[in-house]
Structure 1
Amino acid sequence: MSDVLVVGAGIIGASIAYHCAKAGAKVHVVDNDGIGKGASGKSFGWINASFAESDAYFALRHKAIDEHRALARELDIDQTTQWNGCIWWEDEGNDFWDQARELTRRAYPHEIIETDKIHQLEPNLAGPPAHAILTKHEGAANGTGLSNALLANVIAGDGKVSTDTKVLGILRDGENVVGVKTNKGDLFADNIIIAVGAASETLLATAEINLPMDNQRGIILQTTPTKPLINHIIMSTDVHFRQDPDGRFTMGEIFSGGGLNDAIDKDVDAFAARMLARLHARLPAAKDVEISHIHQGLRPVPKDGFPAIGAIGGLYVATMHSGITLAPLVGKMAAQEILHGHTEKMLAEFRPNRFA
């Protein structure tokens, strides 16, 4: 079995490393920022296929939910992944019903619920809307926690994880990629996997590989803990939030937006105060919680918005938005392609060479 060098210890790199190690490969993961400290640790963590810009992308995300459940059982990580469903009314009016029709067209399990049902499901929620979409099978994951769980298994299987190693460039021997140049010296392997999220374009450019990125600035907030107050992920028109097993709320402004862009104040403290006020308005029983952590970072988004997964220029690339949702499936598929030469048909529309 060949050896594998994974650059990037976020959720995508960790999942690829885990599945490669599980298949018997000798795995080394390198990162300069720690495990799950990039976008993976600054994500809302919603596991879903409610939104997808193409049917192929929807199919990938939908299948990934099943892989998430299988992985959660395999790793026994109840405190890392929750399956409490989602109540969604981020859009209103015609946009709401357009979304409902799209979910129906795609045969995505969901239920339209009205005010009384919403109140029954979430009695602490103030001013529930006339209609919302309930998706019972969706969940949320702690990106840092899940990355750590995956890589703990890699280490337990005699793999290696180096979190003080900065990759400076990609090494070639003629046309072949043979390793990476780091601040600790050159590292070599049969298979080089680049899973560095928002840094993909810059690193790949050192090997003259083109992968244009349109990274978006993002912000996620966490509060002080309190008693259990909600049962679902809540996606309202002005704030989305979920309650973690430790009692903290994780929240942000809008799921589909770019975070701290032109539509959002660049005064982070003002943004945090506004989000906290919205949480208090939606959930008066949480009036005593305060902001405890502000997580800012770059969300990795390939230029056309779709994942970039596959072999290109002698190495293997995996970068995408919605990495939390996709990681278990992408890791499994990537390992099959890297180690066994399989071609995963579901990834056909997401190959990085579309930018070549």
Structure 2
Amino acid sequence: MTQKILIVGGGIIGASFALHLAEAGADVRLLDAEKTVGGIATPNSWAWINASWGNPPDYFRLRQESMRQWRDLDRRVPGLSVNWCGGLLWDMAEADLLAYAKERNAQGYEVKVVKGDKVRALEPQLAAPPAIAVHVPGEGAVEPVHAVERLLTTARAKGAEVLQGTGVRWLIEKKGRITGVMTEEGDLDADIVVLAAGTASARLLKDVGKELKLDQPPGLLVHTEPAAEMLKGLVMAPELHMRQTPEGRIVAGTDFGGTDPGDNPQGAADELFAKVQASLMGGDTLKLSHYTVGFRPTPPDGVSAIGAVPGLEGLYLCVTHSGITLAPALGAFGAAEILGQGRNPLLQPFAPDRLFATS
């Protein structure tokens, strides 16, 4: 019998689940509280696809696999258009930079140490290029809202239904099982509910007696008006991460997660934009368009939480900060597990049980 599955959350994670479940023949309905495509966190992402530094081995392997799956999606999802532009990085001490390159190359993740003219060739318009950096040619970026739209369009073509502007008020629980959700328009029943609602997941779980440990750090990004090409790829400089979109906007934060805006976001945006201008030759011609502040759903240990919620049958949770990088793998592996094909070994370290208080 075809399983009826409700996905709560219209960001990149929910869109990936919708696509993979629809491709497998499930009866899929995705609910997005927002009236515009993309959810809450996804549109405010710097949208870097990577398995870069600072990841423990299990998480690195999951991210590396998801990068491979992004390439597969790029081939089979019409118009997805991942920008495999590579990344130039020097936001750590030289000794750490060299150790990072050595470690990742040993793991099969190509990282090239570059100096002098090679740095200049990669990014000719840097005002003060570093003496040494690393270049990771296999990294990329997507335009996050566009990517969600493309994934959902393909999911619809496979039979999924997408309900935009349909918020979930609460999860419906009967005798320890989640049987559906209550929306503003009424209740919807399901065999499985996939909770991919980012920071809203904690509120929905609290209503059914589950305290989810979840951080929500803010991240401010500045977006310039469209300009002529100034960046060829991703740039990760000390206290300044930048990329340029296909339409010419430079998107920047103090790191890939954005900038903590404090109590003066406009002031933080102006300061950050000044750094962008100073970092690029011709940067004085750039104009600030706007800034965004996103709240990133982040488990306290910094890695994904995906799997069945303990003590609540019929509820499958996926919450992660690294949504852009990990969406393809989490959606594919999660869909397979939901449909009874077993749990992928790459997900084993990331069960959500650790995020719930134990009595």
Superposition TM-score, scaled by structure 2 size: 0.93
- Residues 86-122 of structure 1: per-residue CA shift (max 9 Å, x gap): 0001112433334334324433211000021011122
Change in CA separation of 1:147 and 1:215 when aligned onto 2, cut-off 3 Å? same
| Aligned pair partner of 1:299 in 296, 300, 308 | 296
Q: Distance in 2 between matches of 1:337 and 1:167?
A: 24
Secondary structure of 1:161 counterpart: strand
1:41 matched residue in structure 2: 43
Q: Distance in 1 between matches of 2:141 and 2:167?
A: 30
Change in CA separation of 1:217 and 1:136 when aligned onto 2, cut-off 3 Å? same
Q: Distance in 2 between matches of 1:221 and 1:98?
A: 31
Q: Distance in 2 between matches of 1:226 and 1:259?
A: 23
| Aligned-residue RMSD, C-alpha | 1.6
1:270 matched residue in structure 2: 267
**More deviation, 199-208/292-301:** 199-208
1:21-32 equivalence runs, <5 A: 21-32=22-33
1:272·1:291 contact (CA, 8 Å) conserved in 2?
Answer: no
2:336 matched residue in structure 1: 336
Q: Distance in 1 between matches of 2:201 and 2:300?
A: 12
Q: Distance in 2 between matches of 1:247 and 1:107?
A: 32
Q: Distance in 2 between matches of 1:122 and 1:108?
A: 21
2:67 matched residue in structure 1: 65
1:132-143 equivalence runs, <5 A: 132-143=133-144
1:288 partnered with 2:270 = no
Secondary structure of 2:135 counterpart: strand
Secondary structure of 1:37 counterpart: coil
- Residues 28-76 of structure 1: per-residue CA shift (max 9 Å, x gap): 1112113213110000000000134310000000111010111011113
Aligned length: 351
1:234-253 equivalence runs, <5 A: 234-253=235-254
Q: Distance in 2 between matches of 1:30 and 1:206?
A: 18
Secondary structure of 1:284 counterpart: coil
Q: Distance in 2 between matches of 1:166 and 1:216?
A: 23
1:345 matched residue in structure 2: 345
2:113 matched residue in structure 1: 112
Structure 1 unmatched ranges of 5 or more? none
Q: Distance in 1 between matches of 2:3 and 2:27?
A: 7
Q: Distance in 2 between matches of 1:305 and 1:299?
A: 11
The Cα shift of 1:155 comes to 2.2
**More deviation, 96-105/216-225:** 96-105
Secondary structure of 1:155 counterpart: helix
Secondary structure of 1:36 counterpart: coil
Q: Distance in 1 between matches of 2:244 and 2:73?
A: 22
1:1-356 equivalence runs, <5 A: 1-33=2-34, 34-77=36-79, 79=81, 81-255=82-256, 259-260=259-260, 265-312=262-309, 313-314=312-313, 315-356=315-356
- Residues 286-320 of structure 1: per-residue CA shift (max 9 Å, x gap): 32121112111200101221111011122100010
The Cα shift of 1:221 comes to 1.6
Identity %: 35
Letter in 1 for 2:301: D
The Cα shift of 1:157 comes to 2.9
- Residues 113-133 of structure 1: per-residue CA shift (max 9 Å, x gap): 002101112211121111111
Secondary structure of 2:113 counterpart: strand
- Residues 146-192 of structure 1: per-residue CA shift (max 9 Å, x gap): 11111112222332111221111111221221001121111111111
1:20·1:27 contact (CA, 8 Å) conserved in 2?
Answer: yes
2:20·2:332 contact (CA, 8 Å) conserved in 1?
Answer: yes
**More deviation, 97-106/234-243:** 97-106
1:238·1:278 contact (CA, 8 Å) conserved in 2?
Answer: no
2:7·2:29 contact (CA, 8 Å) conserved in 1?
Answer: yes
Letter in 2 for 1:324: I
Secondary structure of 1:82 counterpart: coil
Q: Distance in 1 between matches of 2:294 and 2:258?
A: 11
Q: Distance in 2 between matches of 1:350 and 1:52?
A: 17
Letter in 1 for 2:324: I
